[in-house]
């Protein structure tokens, strides 16, 4: 106990110190633990036919009364990139819609114009709820996917149901966190990141932070995109790696066919048989005995789980 105090560690009892010696897995929340608390807006990425200025103006108006960390950063970015200054909320004579976990979006109604910003899926659902047939810009999904693969969070912006573009919100990984995870790994302690982000974003953040998957003879290093089976490097195709990376992020959890199709191919309507072909190929590469898989398990009629 005295030695712990010298290292600024407080223990409530000797039993708790003994129990700590049996720890082999550390569960860490992403935001505030692995990354800094506040995500920052870094880019306005309009869809085809929309100017960056138009997107920035809509995003700024939707963010003026937003008290989440992202709101002020969007207002600041609009000012820095396009000279759009903040306004007094009272001057707008508008009704602001606060963010909620249920709707996953916020915005403003002003002079008959409805502006919303939020999760891409939420903004698409909002467009449908207006009762107006809207064509989702094909490049919106591509932009959002590119942001997620970089470890960012895509924030869609719409005006009267029309998607104008995506705001890139960037998570900042804490300095030195990768090195600390490496030290824990040397001690035999596995680190698991817990997050509500989509799997692609989570995989990118986990890779940057140095979270990996190590189970028996299978090791997945998300930092260097390396996979090893029995200490031998395994070569995967890009799609095979994307599937495996998402299973790693949700290790132990069943991922449905629809989830994997949506996150890897960005299309839930693809025939699940297409996914099964890739799973079969993946098992051939990461299982010692593909006929008797130990890591990539099938949950009949539901999906797949990595253990």
Are 46 and 54 in contact by the 8 Å Cβ rule? The answer is yes
Q: Which two tokens stand for residue 4?
A: 């712990």
Rounded Cα distance, 62 and 108, in Å: 5
Residue 26, strand partner residues: 191
* C-alpha span between 116 and 87 (Å, rounded): 18
Q: What is the dihedral of CA 288, 187, 192, 291, to 10 degrees?
A: 10
Which residues are tagged catalytic?
Answer: 29
Contact status, residue 145 vs residue 100, Cβ threshold 8 Å: no
Cα distance between the two ends of the chain: 36
CB within 8 Å of 141: residues ≥ 6 apart: 120, 266
């Amino acid at each position: 106990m005295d030695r712990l105090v010298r290292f600024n560690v407080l223990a409530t009892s000797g039993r708790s110190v003994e129990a700590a010696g049996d720890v082999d897995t550390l569960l860490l929340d992403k935001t505030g633990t692995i990354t800094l608390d506040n995500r920052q807006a870094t880019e306005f990425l309009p869809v085809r036919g929309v100017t960056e200025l138009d997107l920035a103006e809509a995003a700024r108006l939707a963010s003026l009364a937003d008290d989440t960390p992202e709101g002020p950063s969007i207002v600041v970015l609009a000012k820095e990139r396009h000279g759009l200054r903040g306004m007094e909320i009272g001057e707008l004579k508008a009704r602001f819609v606060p963010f909620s976990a249920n709707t996953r979006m916020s915005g403003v109604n002003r002079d008959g114009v409805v502006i919303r910003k939020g999760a891409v899926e939420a903004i698409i659902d909002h467009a449908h709820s207006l009762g107006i047939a809207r064509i989702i810009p094909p490049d919106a999904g591509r932009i959002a996917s590119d942001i997620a693969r970089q470890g960012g969070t895509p924030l869609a912006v719409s005006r009267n149901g029309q998607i104008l573009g995506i705001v890139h919100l960037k998570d900042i990984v804490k300095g030195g966190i990768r090195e600390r995870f490496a030290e824990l790994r040397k001690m035999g302690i596995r680190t698991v990141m817990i997050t509500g982000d989509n799997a692609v974003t989570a995989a990118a953040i986990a890779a940057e932070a140095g979270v990996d998957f190590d189970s028996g003879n299978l090791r997945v290093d998300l930092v260097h995109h390396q996979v090893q089976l029995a200490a031998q490097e395994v070569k995967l195709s890009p799609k095979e790696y994307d599937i495996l990376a998402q299973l790693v992020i949700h290790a132990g959890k069943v991922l449905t066919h629809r989830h994997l199709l949506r996150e890897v191919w960005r299309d839930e309507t693809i025939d699940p048989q297409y996914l099964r072909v890739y799973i079969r190929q993946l098992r051939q590469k990461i299982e010692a005995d593909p006929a008797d898989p130990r890591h990539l398990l099938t949950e009949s009629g539901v999906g797949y789980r990595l253990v």
